Amino acid sequence: MRGPLPMLPSPTRSGPSRADVPAAVIAPGAASARSPIAPPSPSAFVRELDPLAAPLPDAPTFVVIGAGGLGCPALLGLWAAGAREVIVVDPDRVELSNLPRQVLFHGGHLDAPKAACAAATLGPRGRAGQRIQWAAARVDAAWLARVLPRLAPGSVLVECSDAPSLKFAVNAAARAHAIPAAIGAALGWRGQVCAVGPHGACYRCIHEAPPPPELLPTCASAGVLGPAVGTVGALLAATASALAPAAARIAGDTGDPAGGSLIDLDLRRGVVRTLTPSPRPGCPDCAAAPPAPP
């Protein structure tokens, strides 16, 4: 086991008090007009972070890579479930075309960093003890090599980008550093979520290599359905939660609850398939992984 589940206990029936809600994105004067209680500093919930230079949280952390169509619902799911520490990383800025399916943004966010806007939207929904940090950074293999060794035990990667090469880079880094990862994709009516844990097949075992760019359909050419990315993003949050190392203890299960599985969704036909393939002999990412715990 790698450490405690990075979740807060379920909220009480009464929910968070007004004092638990920061003023990060509350309209000026709104808090004083509704309540005499001064809100806490928003820095308790939301702040910018340079993962390459600044100290990282010393508690288990969900690192969400990509704050777009998949990342927004994944962040919503993790935050609502009570994730203690979340880091969201995305280099892009909000565009008008993002708004129909990237549900953490609105017109006032146009041309602002996606990671910052996602964190600011989630901040007021948090409870005491939760923190979300953001970085407008471009993730690649070098970034992963510098950041992943410094994550606290029990952390989980959540890959939500639309770049196949980044999915393979995240898989390789996750296997090399023994960090669980949930890797998702959606196009048209279809979606997939791959759970990479210490046991079972990894993302490269299943897909082997990124497709050639000229053969790769894009959201612009093939389209993407808003409910499809919402469904896959929510499933990414659930899968990441299941991969958190203490989840098996809470469920009374000593096995790996999600690692080595691929969930394939066809939302047009309402078909969901779960595959648990064996590791592929000769997979370079599995060969570079440290021995899995028994």
Tell me if 162 sits within 8 A of 68, measured CB to CB. yes
Contacts of 240 (CB under 8 A, 6+ apart): 62, 74, 78, 156, 158, 180, 182
Tell me if 226 sits within 8 A of 102, measured CB to CB. no
How do strand 156-159 and strand 131-135 relate by DSSP bridges?
unpaired
Bridge partners of 224? 188
Out of 117, 194, 202, 219, pick the active-site residue: 219
Bridge partners of 190? 187, 266
Instruction: Please confirm, yes or no, whether 219 is among the known catalytic residues.
Output: yes
CA angle in degrees (0–180, nearest 5) for 73-176-155: 40
Per DSSP, the chain holds a count of helices (H) and strands (E) of 10, 9
Give the Cα separation of 137 and 135 in Å (integer): 5
Give the Cα separation of 66 and 245 in Å (integer): 23
A 10 A CB-CB count for 75 gives: 30
Read off the tokens for 284.
Answer: 């370079």
Catalytic (active-site) positions = 219
